[in-house]
Structure 1
Amino acid sequence: MSVNQTDPMIGRLIDDRYQVRSRIARGGMATVYLATDLRLERRVAIKIMHGHLADDASFKERFIQEARSAARLAHPNVVNVFDQGQDDDSAYLVMEYLPGITLRELLQDHKVLTPEQAMDIMEAVLAGLAAAHRAGIVHRDLKPENVLLADDGRIKIGDFGLARAATANTATGAALLGTIAYLSPELVTRGIADTRSDIYALGIMLYEMLTGEQPYKGDQPMQIAYQHANDTVPAPGIVNPSVPVELDELVLWATARDPEHRPRDARALLDQLLDVQRALADPSGPPPNRTMVLPSAAATAVLPGFSAAGATGDTEVVPRARHRTGPVGPATEDGNADRLQALAARRHRRGAIWLVVVVVLALLAGGAGWYFGSGPGAQAQVPDVSGKDPAAAAAQLIDEGFTVAPDNRSDFSPVVPAGQVTATDPQASTALQKGSTVTLVVSQGPRQIAIPEVLGATLDAARAALSDFSVEEPVRQFDAKDEGTVIGIAGVGGDGNAVGLSAGAEYGEQQPITLTVSLGPVPDVVGQTLEDAQSELTGAGLVGTQSGSEYSGEMEAGSVIRAQPTEQGPVTPGDTIDLIVSDGPAPVTVPDVTGQTIDDATAQLEALGLFADFDDCLNFTCAFYDWKASLPVTATDPAPGSVVAAGSTIRLSYRVE
C-alpha cells in the first residue's frame, strides 16, 4: 500500500543554492532528493534530516558525523560529500549524484553473481573501505544497500551515517544499529566495533554475492543474531559448487568468529583478494590484465614533416628543413619578369582553389549545422518526467522530439505512487538524437515485504529488523510490559490513516512505520498521601489531580483511595490521572434501640459499623435464663439521633424486672 501525498520539499530552494527536483529515497533518519546546485550548475544528491529529529541531539550529531566522516575521505570508491549546513529547521548534506542501482538491486535481479563479478565489486569496495580505515574511520553499517553501482561503471560506498572513529569502540546500546544480517559476533555480544567488524560484514556480502542468499536465516531477528554469535559461516562452495576454493577460503577468513583471526583491515583483505585473482588466472600465461576506466585520455598526433622527441614529458616538434639541390645562377631581367609572371599565375590559381575550398566548407558547415541543429542528427536531453501521469509524460517527450515506446515498463518504487512515471530508459538528462525511442518506467508502488515479528523485542532490535522500512519516531505509552518493550506496530493505509500491522503482513518497502514502546506500568499510588502521589506521578511524566474524596473505613483521611486516567484508552506522557482521596470513616447516626432486647440492639448497631457495650447482669435471677435475649434496652449513650464516627462504641442501659 502507498500513500499518495505531495512532498513539500520538492521545488524548495535550500540555502538559496540547491533547487530540489525530485525524491530519490527515504530512510529512518533522512530523505534523499535530486537537486540542482544553481551556483555550479550541476546535479547533486541532497540528504535532508527528518524535521521531527531536528530537536534530537543524538540524531543530529549522527547526521553531522556522516558529513564529517565522508568529507575526510577523498577516494574514487567513496561517495563525495560537497557541503553540509542548516536551512531553517532542516539539516542537510550535499553529495555527488550517482545515477544507477545498489548492489542489493543487482542481487534482486540476478540472484547469484559470477566469481569474476563478485571479485570486481569487492575490489572496488575494499579499495574505498581501505581509505576509510587508513583515515581511522569504521563504517559500521556495510550492506548491499550501501554499495552504489553507477551507470558509468563506477562503484562507491555510501551512507557513513553510523561511521565512528576507529578508537571509539564502546556501543552504549548501538550494537544493533547496523543491519542484523551483517552484524559481527562482537557487535552482537559486546556492542564493540572496529575495522575487523567491517571485514566480517564484507565477508557476509561476498558469501551472498556468490550464493544468492545470506548464510543465516530465522523468523526472528534474535535468531539471526544468535547464529552470528555462536555459529561459523559455511563455505559458499557448499551452496554453489562452482565457487573456487580460493574464494571459499577468503570468505571463511573474513567471517571468522574471533576478530583476531580475521584480516586486520580492508587493505589486508584487498591484498589477499588480488592474490586470489592472480591465482585464478591462467598460471601458464602472462599475468592477468586489469582493465582501468580512466576519466579522460590524451593522444599525441605526429604530423608529417615533424618528429616527436619523446613519449613522456614535453614533446619537441622539429620541422624538416627545405633546401635546393642545384647551383643558383645569376638572374637576368627577362628571367625575373618570367618568374614574376609565373608566380602571379600560381597565386591566381591558388586563390581560385581557396575560394572553392571556402565555399565547400561553408556549405558543409551549414549542412552540418542543419543536420545537428534541427535535422536528423539533432540531439536533446531526455527530460525528467518522473512523478507524472504516463500520458502527460509521453506528451512532453513527443513535444521535445522523442519517440515513446508503445509498451511501458513497470518497476517498484517506494517514493513514486503507483501508476505514475518513476523513470525513463534512457534515464533523464541523457543526450539522444531527436527521434530516439524512450521507454517509460511506471511505478507499481513500493515492493511489498513481509513484516517481521518485533512485538516483545527491544526498540533497537526492532529498528534493525525493520531496516527495509522507514521507522519513524516511536510512540511511548504506559503498559504492564517492561519498559523499552515494543508493544505495537502501525503503518499508513491507503487513506492516509494509521493502520495496525502484524507479523507476516505485507507492507510497502521504505514506507513509514511507527512503533509503540512501553514505559512500564503507571505508578501505583494507592495508600499514599495526596502530595506523595502527585510527586511520584510527576516524576513519571504524568499529572496527578484530586478529582474527589470519599469516606473510607480502610484508608486514613488524606490518603489516595483510587487512581484512574481521566481519558479512556492508553496512558501516554502528559496524561492526567484522577486521584480519589479518603475523608476517613463515614459518620453514623445513632439509632433508637430502646425497648429492643440487648441482643437485637447490639446486632443493629454492629450493622451500622458501631460497637455495643453494656454491664453484665449481677442479679441472681439472670443465672436462670438468657437475660440478653430478654431484657429490654432502656437508654443509650450517646443518645439516639447523635452523629458519631464509624467504629464508635454505644453504651446500652437496661433494667432487670
Structure 2
Amino acid sequence: MAETKLGGRYQVQDRIGTGGMATVYRGLDEVLGRTVAIKTMLPQYANDPSFAARFKQEAQAAAALQSPYIVSVYDWGKDADTYYIVMEYLRGTDLKTGIRKHGALDCKKVAQIGSQIAQALSVAHKHDIIHRDIKPQNIMVQPDGNIKVMDFGIARAKNSHLTQDNSVLGTAHYVSPEQTQGKELGPTTDIYSLGIVMYEAATGQVPFQGDDAISVALKQVNEQPKPPSQLNPNVDPQLEAIILKCMQKNPADRFQTADELSRTLRDYLAGRMQAVNTATSVLPAAATSKLERGATPMVGGTATMPRVERTGRFRQSATQQAAEAEAERQRKHKRNVILAAAGGIVAAVLVIVALVSLLGSGTAMRNVPNLSNLTVEQAVEAIEKEGFEAGEPQYVYDDNVPEGRVVEQDPEPNRQMPEGSVINFKVSNGPTPVEEVEVPDLRGMTADEAEEELSKHKLLGKRGDDVESDDYEEGEVAEQDLEPGSTANAGDTVTYHVSAGSSQVVVPELSNATESEYTSRLKDLGLVADVRYTSDNSVASGYVIYTTPGMGSTVDKGSTVTVFVSSGREEVKVPNVVGEVATTAQARLEGANFVVNISGPTDGIVIEQSVTGSAPYGATITLTTEAQEPETPSGNGDHGGSIGNGATPEGQ
C-alpha cells in the first residue's frame, strides 16, 4: 500500500507494524504537513460487516479519549474498500522492550509510569471503555520519559454488543482472574493488569510463568504472587503494597477506580507515606505449614496466629474440652478441604473451557520454532509445519539483520504453546534509509513553530542555550547550528537558539534609591556596578546621588556603571562666636549654614557654644548667653546710691 493516498490527504509510506485485524503505516498528512500513523483494516476483514462496524466503533471511541497519556486519534474514514484510522505518530520504544533491555526499573520510575497509565485508564473508564489488554507491549515510552497507552483495538464500550460478554481477550501473563474465567469485566480488570505491569517493571519479570497460556491463566486464578521485594530487594514496602493491592484476586479488594490508584501513586512519589499506607492493604500470606493452614486470621491484619486460650482460664475439664474441640475442628477441616478441592477443580475447568474457547478446540502442545534470520517464506513454512498459525509480519528497519530476514519473534523460540497459536514475527526492512533533506530557516519562529517546521522536513529539533539578540524579539529563534538551505540527513538534529532579548539595556532611573536597591537592579539588567562615595549636603547618607553614564542612557549588557552614593553632609569650619552679642553670633553661624539655638537672653553675650572646630554642613549649634552688665554713668556717687529708707522713686 506504500505511496497510496487515503482520503485525498494522507500519503501512506513505509509499513511499521501489523496487528490482529489491521496494518499500521507511517504516513504524511499533506494538509497539515505532519507525520502520522495510519491503521488500515486487513483485506480479509474489510468486507465483513461486523469487523467493519467494530473498526468504526474503535475509531469513534478512541477519538473521544483526550489525554496526554493516550495515543491521539486525528481522523478516520473509508477510501474505496479500505477502512483507515489516522493517529499520532510516536517515537520511542515500548515498555516491554525497555524492561528486556534494562531490567528492573527504579521504584520512582515505576510509580511515575504507573500513575500515567492510571490517568489514561481513568479517561477511558469515564467513557465506559475498558481497555482489557494492558501490557508493556501496549505502553510506548517516549524520548522525554512520559508514556502513551496504545491499542484500544480490543477495548469495548460497556454498551457495545459487538463482542461476547464472556470472551477472553488479552495476553495470559497480564489478564485478570475474572478475564480468565470469562466473567463480566469492569475498571478493576484494567487495574489488575496494570498491577502486573508495575510488578514486571519493578522486578524485571512477570509474576506468573508457565509453559502455555492455560497454565499461566490457572496461576492467575489460584496462586498468590511472590512479593516483589523477594525478587528485587530494592523494591520498597510502600510501592510493593500498592502493586499487591492492584493484584488482589477479588476485584472488590483492589483499587476501585483508576483515579484512586493514580492519587495513591502520586502520594507515594511525593513522600506522603501515611496516605499510601492507609490506602493499601497487603495480600494475605500464603499458608506454609499445618499450623498456619489451621490458623485464624487476625482482625484487620494480614498475618495469621493459632487460636490459643490464656493459661489462667483453664478449668479442671480443660483437657476434655480441648479434645472435643480438636475433634470438631478436624471434622470441619476435612469438610473444608473437600469443598476447596472441589471448588478448585470447578474453577480450573472453567478456566480451561474459557481458554479453549479462545485458543481453539485443539489443546496439543507444540514447540515454537526458531525463526531467527529466516526469510518470510521460510518462517511461515516453519510455523505451519509445527501446527501454528503465522501472524502478519511486522516490518522494521534493522542495521544488523539483512533485508527480508526475521529480526524478532513472539513467543520466543523453543517454548511450548497450544497447537494453532499465532506466532508473530518482525522482518528487517534493511538498514535505516538515509534521506537527504533541506534545512529550513527557523529564524524569527517560536520554538513550537520551529519544531513543527523541522518535523515537516523530517528533522529533529533541539533547543540550545538562549542568546541575546538585537535583531529578534525575545522568544524568537535567533540562531541555528545548520545553515538554512544546507543539506542534512532525515532524522538529523538541528540545534536552534532562542532570543533572550536585546543585548542593550537602559540605565535605570530610580528616585530615592539606596545603594543596595540600585546595585541589585543593575545586576538584574546584566550591568556591573562601580560604587563610589562622596559627601553631599542635599542627599542623605547611603542614597544614590547620580550615575555615569547617566540614568536613562542606553548601554551594552555587561557594561560598568559608576554609581555615586552619598556619604553624608560635608564638614565645614565653625566660627568662634564666644564673647559676641547673641544676635551677631547667630547671624554669623546661620550665614555658614548652621542652625542656631540660643539658651539665655537673646540680647546677651555668648559665653559658650556647643560645637567648635568643624561640623557637618547644616548641623545645629547651641549658644549659651548671659545678660550684659549695664554701663556705669559718669558724676558723683550720690547718683548711684540707694534711696533712703528703702523707698522707691515712685513712693517719694
Asked whether the two chains share a fold, i.e. TM above 0.5, the reply is no
Could you say which structure has the larger radius of gyration? 2
Higher relative contact order (CA 8 A, sep 6+): 1
